[in-house]
Amino acid sequence: MSKQTSKIPVIQVILAYKRTSLANDRTLLSFIHVFLALLISGLGLINFFKNHQIYYYVGITLCILSPVALILGATIYIRTQKMLRRHEHTWNSEG
């Protein structure tokens, strides 16, 4: 019975690793969603309000800012994945 209780913390660490990895994937997908929303909104403003200068410039601003969201999301994703890989040996050696 002592073997079963010693495996519980290892399983918890592995599940925490998986949970963090999946949360990181979800965060990247959220940033991609923001990128697409900004880009589509910007293009919509540019196309529908060509005669209104304010909306046109707001649309251009949204189109310019959309890649910033994508780059920020990719940077956060890559940084977190590197951190997870760096500490992978910790949970792998406990088992």
Q: Is position 43 within any domain?
A: yes
2 or 69: which leads in pLDDT: 69
Mean per-residue pLDDT, 78-90: 85
Q: Is position 77 within any domain?
A: yes
Q: What angle do CA 43, 48, 49 make, to 5 degrees?
A: 100
Band of pLDDT at residue 86, cut at 50, 70 and 90: confident
Q: Is position 69 within any domain?
A: yes
Band of pLDDT at residue 1, cut at 50, 70 and 90: very low
d(CA 25, CA 28): 5
Number of domains observed in the structure of the chain: 1
Q: Is position 2 within any domain?
A: no
Q: Is position 38 within any domain?
A: yes
Q: Is position 10 within any domain?
A: no
Q: Is position 60 within any domain?
A: yes
What domain range includes position 69? 28-88
> Residue 23 pLDDT > 60, yes or no?
yes
Q: Is position 12 within any domain?
A: no
Please give the torsion angle defined by the CA atoms of residues 49, 52, 53 and 54, in that order, rounded to the nearest 10 degrees: -90
Percent of the chain with pLDDT strictly greater than 70: 84
95 or 20: which leads in pLDDT: 20
